[in-house]
């Protein structure tokens, strides 16, 4: 159980932060940027949920994802260094991704195939979900970049999970746009 009774510690005043392993890293470190962007995606989903409260199915999916994104942040904040930690670190597992895939399949059942790319918008809920989707994609790009560093380890299940979350956010945006009927479609070269 997490217990936070003091919010400021002053330990980050030098521009560093502590990882779950106890190691200190610069706040500009790519790992810190990655889990910070996961947190940003989570905040965007929280904002989107203000517009999806009347759709209990989607809102419940988003609530589960928000919790999982904290799991993903914990996963990223505790790199696998091969050294004993004294505790079992929290990791994203394949079952979490499978659950998101099942949710996507459920949401996608009543959607017509796309004829063009969708512009973010249509309704406030869809616009907010698209914003969350783009932030999730940025988190994914950062996680992939981090995984390219030989000294860094990134849980592959975590990368798959964030990829699937952005897919769900896209499909959910279409659903809240009157099952895609209110989607704003891209018209290539329209303003030439």
Calculate the CA 3 to chain-centre distance. Answer: 24
Other C-beta atoms lying within 10 Å of the C-beta of residue 15: 10
Phi, psi of 79 (to 5 degrees): -65, 145
Q: Which domain holds residue 130?
A: 27-80+89-179
CATH code, domain carrying 106: 1.20.1200.10
Determine the pLDDT at residue 57: 97
Determine the pLDDT at residue 1: 59
Q: Is residue 4 part of a domain?
A: no
Number of structural domains (the chain) is 1
pTM above 0.75, yes or no: yes
Q: pLDDT below 50 — which residues of the chain?
A: none
Q: Is residue 116 part of a domain?
A: yes
Q: For 20-65, how does the pLDDT look when each residue is reduced to its tens digit (9 = 90+)?
A: 888 888 788 999 999 999 999 999 999 999 999 999 999 999 999 9
Q: Is residue 124 part of a domain?
A: yes
Q: Is residue 117 part of a domain?
A: yes
Determine the pLDDT at residue 9: 81
Q: Is residue 74 part of a domain?
A: yes
Q: Is residue 44 part of a domain?
A: yes
Helix (H, G, I), strand (E, B), or coil: what is residue 186? Answer: coil
Determine the pLDDT at residue 6: 74
């Amino acid at each position: 159980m997490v217990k936070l009774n003091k919010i400021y510690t002053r330990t980050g005043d030098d521009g560093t932060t502590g990882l779950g392993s106890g190691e200190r890293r610069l706040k500009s470190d790519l790992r810190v940027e990655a889990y910070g962007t996961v947190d940003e995606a989570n905040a965007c989903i929280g904002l989107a949920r203000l517009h999806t409260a009347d759709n209990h199915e989607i809102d419940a999916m988003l609530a589960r994802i928000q919790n999982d994104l904290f799991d993903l942040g914990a996963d990223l904040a505790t790199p696998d260094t091969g050294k004993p930690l004294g505790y079992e670190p929290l990791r994203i597992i394949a079952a979490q991704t499978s659950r998101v895939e099942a949710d996507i399949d459920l949401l996608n059942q009543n959607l017509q195939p796309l004829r063009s790319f969708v512009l973010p918008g249509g309704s406030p809920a869809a616009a907010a979900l698209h914003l969350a989707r783009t932030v999730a994609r940025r988190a994914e790009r950062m996680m992939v970049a981090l995984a390219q560093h030989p000294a860094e380890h990134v849980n592959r299940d975590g990368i798959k999970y964030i990829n699937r979350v952005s897919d769900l956010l896209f499909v959910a945006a279409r659903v809240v746009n009157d099952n895609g009927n209110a989607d704003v479609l891209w018209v290539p070269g329209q303003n030439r």
